[in-house]
Amino acid sequence: MSSATSPWWRDAVIYQVYPRSWADADGDGLGDLPGITSRLPHLVELGVDALWISPFYRSPQRDAGYDVADYRDVDPRFGTLADFDVLIERAHHLGLRLIVDLVPNHSSSDHAWFQQALAAPPGSPERARYIFRDGRGPDGDQPPNNWRSKFGGSAWTRIKEADGAPGQWYLHLFDESQPDFDWSHPEIRAEFEDILRFWLDRGVDGFRIDVAHGMVKTEGYPDAPEKYDLAVDPTASQPMWDQPGVHDIFRSWRRLVDSYDGDRILCAEAWVRPDEALARYVRPDECHHSFNFGYLMTPWRATDQRASITRSLEAVRSVGAVQTWVLSNHDVVRHATRLAVPQSTTSLVGGIGPDDPQPDAELGLRRARAATALMLALPGAAYLYQGEELGLPEATMLPPEARQDPTFWRSDEGDVGRDGCRVPVPWEADRPAFGFNETGATWLPQPEVYGPLAVDRQRGVPGSTLEMYRSLLTLRRDRGLGRGELRWLDGFGPDVVAFVVASAGRTTTVLANIARTPLVLPAGATVLVTSGASDRELPADTTVWLDGELSASQVHVPGV
């Protein structure tokens, strides 16, 4: 599957399974590990290299499992460790690698260490594993600094001491049920190395590292700048993000995973700017991958797409790493919906609710297909999110009483949150819960439109989104696109993204038409795959892959 000179992860396609919503074997409405095992053949059919599973550890599920109470056990809602062993054995047997999610920035407030910290006095060794501080003001009733939780509200919560008196404050960059660990404490470092070993010994092929840019905070916990422009400021100008010390942690973890056989990988979830700062996470002795969120956030405009791809490739080239590409995950509005709304940070992470303008589904799907076809031609590794291969839109009509994401309750901006991208996926249109389980129970209601998009309605149907993904993945592998070199093509006009990828002695031309007018291909062009309906014409929002190099002079480019 790999060799020392060409490790698998350099051009891998990794599929994210959100365990709550992929497949539910016991019918309680929440997905589980036996469900995942039963549906693995779908991933083989699709043609991906690996799956990454979001957290399934023991957890009170206040942030859908990103609040871990025991890092070495499976939550009974998802199954058992024995179920995990069956899952990994089956995945490996099918030729799929398996990556698990590691949540090292914070634990659940139910974690034994946090409970011990609450019971122990200020200044005790138990408190030292987390970030407890006295409050400001004469009565200590003001938080220690002005940091905000990513989910809204203050990042500090005040506790009651054992005697019932108002006490110290603890830091939580996310929900108050997610206290941040103090990574300057050697015990935390040792504990996580041990947790890594626990899962590596069980055979996992790597880790996706949650909040990789947040573990180390600026010493002294100074106030954050009041004015901070997410669009331009380097993330490190905030005292809680992207501090240099995080890189020492990755260096030690890299040594650890490298001590195992089989090219195990680390993938950083780091929302970091600019691209050069993000590239530091993938230096040769740190992580293998870092999610390219800058690309995910790029507007669907040719100039922006070209600039983002160029910047991304240059940034990783400087450190000798591979770039990753991603369009959807469990935290952002699905790209089949997102690309139909004017781009803004709110519509990206804040979700879309019933009171918001409803996006044009047809436009969104057309653009999503074109964007995916563009992405899967790019050199490097790619991450897919469950259901995108079906063209699933965001569930935008979820009623408030169905919502479970803590951001919905905490949000300063009235965001509806991330539930809309987390709805159980449809497998068979005519079965209960569209085949998610046998009982029809689902932890979030599935929109009716998911029925016609079910796997069984698309399998073998020419032109379906599922078949398009399968073709793209087969061609990508056969033509070695992930290992290729990208060269931009000129002359196609400002609204067409045009490039060739040369690899394994073959050249593939990729054209993404983001103009309003169609582009007509020459009669002799060999179309390998198209995101649109016709092989000859490229209407607006269509991407095509062609065999060989096509020059602009062979194409009728309107307006050029």
Residues with a known catalytic role? 210, 269
How far apart CA 288 and CA 254 sit, in angstroms, is: 9
Question: From the CB of 58, what's the least distance to ligand NOJ, in Å?
Answer: 15
Q: Is 9 in the site for ligand NOJ (CB under 6 A)?
A: no
Residue 211 beta carbon to ligand NOJ: minimum distance, rounded to whole angstroms = 5
CA distances, 392 to each of 44, 126, 355, 468, 518 (Å) = 20, 46, 20, 14, 26
How many angstroms separate the CA atoms of 484 and 358, rounded? 39
Residue 66 in the binding site for ligand NOJ (CB under 6 A)? yes
Residue 63 binding ligand NOJ, by CB under 6 A: yes
Instruction: Please identify which residue in 49, 75, 210, 275 interacts with ligand NOJ, judged by CB under 6 A.
Output: 210
18 binds ligand NOJ (CB under 6 A): no
Q: Considering the complex, what minimum distance in angstroms separates the CB of residue 163 from ligand NOJ?
A: 32
CB nearer ligand NOJ, residue 205 or residue 331? 331
CB of 416 to ligand NOJ, least distance (A): 15
**H helix or E strand, kind and range, residue 458:** helix 455-458
Contact 140, 134 (CB under 8 A): yes
CB atoms within 10 A of CB 55: 25
Contact flag: residue 211 with ligand NOJ (CB under 6 A): yes
Site string for ligand NOJ, 100-129 (x = CB under 6 A): ---x--------------------------
- Compute the least distance from the CB of residue 280 to ligand NOJ, in Å: 20
Long-range CB contacts (within 8 A, 24+) of 59-65 = 59/108, 59/110, 60/108, 60/110, 60/177, 62/108, 62/175, 62/177, 62/178, 62/406, 63/174, 63/175, 63/177, 63/178, 63/406, 64/20, 64/330, 64/404, 64/405, 64/422, 65/19, 65/20
Q: How many CA atoms lie within 13 A of 507 on its CB side?
A: 10
**557 three-class SS:** coil
Nearest CA-CA partner of 161 in 170, 153, 171: 170
Count of residues touching ligand NOJ (by CB under 6 A): 9
| CA distances for 179 relative to 1, 132, 149, 503, angstroms | 40, 10, 11, 47
Task: Indicate which single residue of 331, 388, 394, 415 sits in contact with ligand NOJ (rule: CB under 6 A).
Answer: 331
Residues 262-291 that bind ligand NOJ (CB under 6 A): 269
Cβ proximity to ligand NOJ, 156 vs 427, nearer residue: 156
Nearer to ligand NOJ, 281 or 492 (CB): 281
- For the bound state, the minimum distance from the C-beta of residue 22 to ligand NOJ, rounded and expressed in Å, comes to 16
Tokens matching residue 539: 């209407």
Q: How far is the CB of 178 from ligand NOJ (least distance, A)?
A: 6
Residue carrying the six token digits 């790019």: 378
The answer to whether residue 242 forms part of the interface with ligand NOJ (CB under 6 A) is no
What tokens were used for 429? 């249109």
Does 71 contact ligand NOJ by CB under 6 A? no
Under the binding rule (CB under 6 A), the answer on residue 174 touching ligand NOJ is yes
Nearer to ligand NOJ, 63 or 389 (CB): 63
Pick 330 or 457: Cβ nearer ligand NOJ: 330
Judged by the rule CB under 6 A, the positions of this chain that interact with ligand NOJ are 63, 66, 103, 174, 210-211, 269, 330-331
